[in-house]
Amino acid sequence: MSSSPLDPVLTANFLRGNTAIIVLAILRDGPAHGYAIGSEIARRSEHTLEFKQGTLYPILHELERDGSICSEWEIPNGDRPRRVYTITESGQRELERRMEAWQRFNAAMIRVTAVRLDEQTG
C-alpha cells in the first residue's frame, strides 16, 4: 500500500484547522526545532502529511504569540543555531481542547456519512 500520495488539494483542505493540533502533538512528546518538527510529521504519517515551510513556520510563530509554545535559540557545537520550541501548560490545554473538538467533529462526520472507520481494513 502506501499507494499514491493523497490529492494535495484535498489534503490542503483537510489540514485546515488541524495544523496546530499536529504541531502541538509533536511537541507534547518533547521539545524540537522547526525543521525537526516537519520531518517528524512526515515520518509519523508515512509522508501522507508534509508541511510546507510556508505553513509550518507561521504556525510556530502564531502558537508562540498565543503562549501555547515558547522557544529559545540553541547553538549546538559546530552547527547552525536553531530555534527550539517547547509546549507550555497553556499549550497542553489548547491541544486537549482542539483534540476534543476534532474528535467530536469526526464523530459527527461518521454519523452523517454513516461510515465506520473500522470498516476499512488498513
Q: Using the rule CB under 7 A, which residue among 26, 27, 41, 59 binds DNA? A: 59
Among the candidate windows 78-86, 90-98, 100-108, 113-121, which touches DNA by CB under 7 A? 78-86
**86 lines the binding site for DNA (CB under 7 A):** no
Grid coordinates belonging to 32: 524540537
101 binds, among DNA, its own copies, none (CB under 5 to 8 A by kind): its own copies
Taking the C-alpha atoms of residue 105 and residue 109, their distance in angstroms, rounded to an integer, is 6
Please choose, from the candidates 99, 114, 89, the residue with its C-alpha nearest in 3D space to the C-alpha of residue 21: 99
Are 24 and 95 in contact by the 8 Å Cβ rule? The answer is yes
Residues 6+ apart with CB under 8 A from 94: 20, 24, 66, 68
Taking the C-alpha atoms of residue 66 and residue 64, their distance in angstroms, rounded to an integer, is 5
**107 lines the binding site for its own copies (CB under 8 A):** yes
Q: Using the rule CB under 8 A, which residue among 70, 85, 99, 121 binds its own copies? A: 99
Grid coordinates belonging to 2: 502506501
Residues lying near its own copies in the complex (CB under 8 A) = 6-7, 10-14, 16-18, 21-22, 25-26, 29, 41, 44-46, 48-49, 98-99, 101-109, 111-115, 117, 120, 122
In the complex, which residues of this chain contact DNA (CB under 7 A)?
8-9, 11-13, 15-20, 33-36, 39, 51-55, 57-61, 78-80, 82-84
